[in-house]
A and B are shown apart, each in its own frame.
Chain A
Amino acid sequence: MISESLALGKRSLTKWTRNPFAVIATSLQALFWLALFGNSFNPANAFSSTPGGSLGPLQQAFNGAPNYITFLTPGVIGIVALVGMSFMGVDLVLDRTSGYIDVLKAFPIPRTSIYFGGVIQNVAKGMVAAPIAFLLAIFVPNGLRFAQGFGFLNLLGILATVLLLTTVFSMFFTGMAISIKSTDSFFAAINFLTFPIMFTSTAFFPLSFFPDWLKPVAQANPISLASDAMRLLLVNGNLPAAQVSVFIWDWVWLLVYGAFFTVLGVMMARSALKAR
């Protein structure tokens, strides 16, 4: 199954790299989030006296981030993963409506390899966009500031967290894309799901800003788990022992989501691809 999934993933990636607009759009979408939300939502705007966009008295509330972009960057990476993984499923919907998936079903391959091929290509595209978001955040005005002691392991931890989050979303949205029979229904479902996930996460604001009734939802949101884990690595050069367990729990919950969505995605794909 692995070789077939890789072959199908490679097919989509080849097409993607031949479409410069798609590559640029995917890679640069973080810029809009950072530039627009980074400025308009920036709490430092309320404290015109603070230098360099510093969060000043709000720094502690914002997970210890020195400025808003440092807080926002992991959130934006999470949002890019969500939006990317959800909308990239359209390739599979188009494959289905064009009859291409029927052709694949006539090959002697496990039908779940069609699903995993979709997961692989989406994750690969997502992993191009995430480091670009990271780089852009450094260069925007009042941009990302690294904590003292931030090193290669912190960077690796951030990339691994992005990979995990991207995989979590891809497992779910790819399964959904294979199950949906028309592009109209697909986009309706995506719009219905992505905005609530986005705005009930701590991507833009810390947990303390949420009303009490919404806090459990925000805490359990995969974007919150991933962006809080990434913030720990950004804001603390060397992770204190107390924070290590927080980081590990964020990962454990993301892995639980990953396992659940893999099972759910495979079930959706099997049901959608079985002979009727």
Chain B
Amino acid sequence: MSGIIEVDGLTKIFPPSAKVVDCVSFEVGEGQVFSLLGPNGAGKTTTIRMLTTLDSITEGRAFVGGRDVNRDPGAVRQLIGVVPQEVTLDNELKGIENLLLAAKLHHIPNTIARKRAAELLKLVELDQSQNNRVSTYSGGMKRRLQLVTALVHEPRILFLDEPTVGLDIQTRTRIWDYIKGLNRDRGLSIFMTTHYLEEADQLSDVVAIMDRGSIKVSGPPSDMKESLHGDILTLSVEDGGEDLTEFLKSVPNVTEVIRANDAYRLKLPRVESALPAIITNVASRGLKIKETSFSKPTLDQVFLEVTGRSMRDAQEANDHSNAGRFAVAHRSETR
């Protein structure tokens, strides 16, 4: 392996036996944007916390910038910039003071720190408000400041944990532009976690889909979508008590049928040419189609393909189980 991040059999078990990350292996090439895509609770944040030396590794090995995360965490910290999921700036300090403090903690001389801070604040269009306290910033401004605070020491690798979670679409798009720019113009390697499909799709050179602690599939988003070999037609039938899976599989050009609740997801090469035959076949059985929709392959469909459930279903299921887990954890934390 020769990537800037190399991970082999990475496993995290929280006592007594909660396996949150289960034997994960991947490689991130220099200058790549690599996204770990999955629902909440998939193990993405724990993975990023292990790679950034915040959590210990239970089993397996990880190298960041050629340094062993377990054996040489200090060297790893010098190479990386970390943007956590929550905004963790000091609200009572001014924008520029947050940056200069980060520079100081990276042992950057004051004159260089001031020059870099000015450049970075201009880059994210915060130069006009640099002398305002962060408490007066909007959510988007805070995110932008948080992003450049992780860049003040010119890291080789930037770790972003859900960089746009909770932001409106305009702000999110703006953050995406900065991330793309940092990767394009500075050659920065970026490791990102996200549960936004379009974020992973738009920004990443490589996406790894993670669910229930393990990576199900990885590769360039375009390759992953192409691997689905076709479009997806979703249809639901009135009086859908009867299971039509086998019947729909027999319809010409349909390569796969998955039943999800009352709807059927059909995979076929070109939905436009196959749709009339499908409608005719269904009608010939005396059934009426209630609703149809079709889509070109997306990462959500890749997720469905490899996990057997959609991102939304996975998200809801994990949110539900996490709520229970949080209640238990909260009780033990406050003891």
Contacts and interface: CB of A to CB of B under 8 A. Distances in A.
Same complex origin of A and B: yes
B88 A100 contact: yes
B128 interface: no
A7 B101 contact: yes
B334 A184 contact: yes
Contact of B88 (A14, A98, A185, A275): A98
Interface in A161-210: 181-182, 184-185
Interface string A3-20: 110011001001100110
B77 interface: yes
A109 B105 contact: yes
B10 interface: no
Given A7-B101, A19-B92, A185-B334, A106 B82 contact: yes
B86 A15 contact: no
B84 A3 contact: no
A107 B14 CA distance: 24
A103 B97 contact: no
A182 B331 CA distance: 11
Interface in B49-83: 52-56, 73-74, 77-78, 80, 82
Contact of A107 (B90, B97, B106, B334): B106
B104 A108 contact: no
B92 A15 contact: yes
B23 interface: no
A273 to B, nearest CB: 10
Contact of A275 (B55, B84, B93): B55
B55 A15 contact: no
A102 B93 contact: no
A105 B82 CA distance: 10
B55 A276 contact: yes
Interface string A250-276: 000000000000000000000000111
Contacts of B73: 275
Contacts of A108: 74, 77-78, 105-107
Interface in A98-138: 98-100, 102-109
B185 interface: no
B242 interface: no
Interface residues of A, number: 27
A105 B54 contact: yes
Contacts of A98: 86, 88
A102 B54 contact: yes
Contact of A15 (B93, B105, B106): B93
A105 B52 CA distance: 9
Nearest to A107: B105
Interface residues of B, number: 28
A87 to B, nearest CB: 18
B56 A276 contact: yes
Contacts of A18: 92, 133
A275 B70 CA distance: 10
A106 B52 contact: yes
Nearest to A106: B82
B54 A275 contact: yes
A101 to B, nearest CB: 9
Contacts of A182: 333-334
B69 to A, nearest CB: 10
Nearest to A275: B56
A276 B104 CA distance: 26
Contacts of B56: 274-276
A18 B86 CA distance: 24
Contacts of B333: 181-182
Contacts of B106: 107-108
Contact of B54 (A11, A14, A106, A181): A106
Contact of A100 (B80, B90, B104): B90
Interface of A: 3-4, 7-8, 11, 14-15, 18-19, 98-100, 102-109, 181-182, 184-185, 274-276
16 contacts: A8-B105, A11-B101, A18-B133, A19-B92, A98-B86, A100-B90, A102-B84, A103-B88, A106-B77, A107-B77, A108-B78, A182-B333, A184-B334, A185-B334, A274-B56, A276-B56
Given A102-B88, A106-B53, 18 more contacts: A8-B105, A11-B90, A11-B93, A14-B93, A18-B133, A102-B54, A102-B84, A103-B88, A106-B52, A106-B80, A108-B77, A108-B106, A108-B107, A109-B105, A181-B334, A184-B334, A274-B56, A275-B54
